[in-house]
């Protein structure tokens, strides 16, 4: 009798152990992405991941705040929409316990215009739209500086110190910097001389990085997008499978052939 009970106890312990491993080795996950190019890319990622036993449900967001909120709340398992400076600013502002686990692609930022074909054509007093969040606003100011349109105070803009319009020390054309939510900038472009617009929002609005920009970031800059998870999940087997699927040659070839330089693999 005691021997049988011992066997039952051992069997129960084995079942619990197997269940714990199965729970850890998840096969279905939810990943948040931004609307547009990321959706297209993740259709390929899903196919690659499925061959490794990982079922990805893609959840699409139309702004840059909800994906981290949803991840921190447990409504997502991962997201793939942001670069590290943006994630760092969100962690600092909101205290998220979110970490990067792998690079995806670089989406060069552009200054778009429907009225002008070059920065030289911008008139004095032109209204230029830039993003109102710290990391992308900083990115826009750096691009305007690179284009020779303004100069920032030394010590800001890089090395983790975000610049704001208050840090502009030279503005020879007296450009008026209009800060707006990133998602609003494409719609506001008709009323602006030019605007800094993130790649995914530009794509959704039918704007072309090659055709409609008067200034563009370097493709291999510091703003590579990434996959992020909650810190507690970063070493889970499904995270490795997700990153492996994204960083596959199949996904690399898709990005290079589909986007032709407007998006660049960062892995």
pLDDT tens for 135-168 read: 899 999 999 999 999 999 999 998 768 999 999 9
Q: What pTM does this model have?
A: 0.73
pLDDT tens for 16-70 read: 544 444 445 679 999 999 988 899 999 999 999 999 999 999 999 999 999 999 9
What ranges do the domains of the chain cover? 2-108+222-265, 110-216
The answer to whether the 2-108+222-265 and 110-216 domains have the same CATH topology is yes
| Mean local confidence (pLDDT), 196-221 | 90
Is the model's pLDDT at 93 over the cut of 90?
Answer: yes
Run of H or E residues at 67: helix 66-73
How many helices, marked H, and strands, marked E, lie in the chain? 9, 13
Q: What is the CATH number of domain 2-108+222-265?
A: 3.40.190.10
**pLDDT value for 20:** 47
Among 238, 235, 228, which Cα is nearest to 79's?
A: 228
Superfamily of domain 110-216: Periplasmic binding protein-like II (3.40.190.10)
Measure the CA–CA gap between 33 and 36, rounded to whole angstroms. 9
Q: What is the mean pLDDT of the chain?
A: 91
């Amino acid at each position: 009798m005691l021997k049988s009970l011992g066997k039952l106890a051992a069997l129960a312990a084995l079942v619990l152990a197997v269940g714990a491993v199965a729970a850890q080795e998840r096969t279905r996950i939810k990943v948040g992405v931004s609307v547009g190019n990321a959706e297209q890319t993740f259709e390929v990622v899903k196919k690659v991941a499925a061959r490794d036993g990982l079922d990805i449900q893609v959840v699409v967001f139309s702004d840059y705040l909800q994906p981290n909120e949803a991840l921190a709340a447990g409504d997502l398992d991962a997201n793939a929409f942001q670069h590290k400076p943006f994630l760092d600013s969100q962690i600092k502002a909101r205290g998220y316990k979110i970490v990067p686990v792998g690079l995806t692609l670089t989406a060069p930022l552009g200054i778009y215009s429907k009225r002008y074909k070059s920065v030289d054509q911008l008139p004095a007093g032109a209204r230029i739209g830039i993003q109102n969040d710290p990391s992308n606003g900083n990115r826009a100011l750096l691009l305007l500086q690179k284009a020779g349109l303004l100069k920032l105070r030394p010590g800001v803009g890089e090395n983790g110190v975000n610049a704001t319009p208050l840090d502009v020390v030279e503005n020879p054309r007296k450009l008026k910097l209009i800060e707006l939510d990133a998602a609003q900038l494409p719609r506001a472009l008709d009323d602006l001389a030019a605007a800094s617009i993130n790649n995914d929002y530009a794509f959704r609005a039918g704007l072309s990085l090659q055709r409609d920009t008067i200034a563009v970031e370097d493709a291999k800059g510091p703003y590579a997008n990434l996959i992020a998870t909650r810190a507690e999940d970063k070493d889970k087997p499904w995270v490795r499978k997700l990153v492996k699927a994204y960083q596959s040659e199949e996904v690399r070839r898709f990005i290079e052939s589909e986007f032709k330089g407007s998006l660049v693999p960062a892995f």
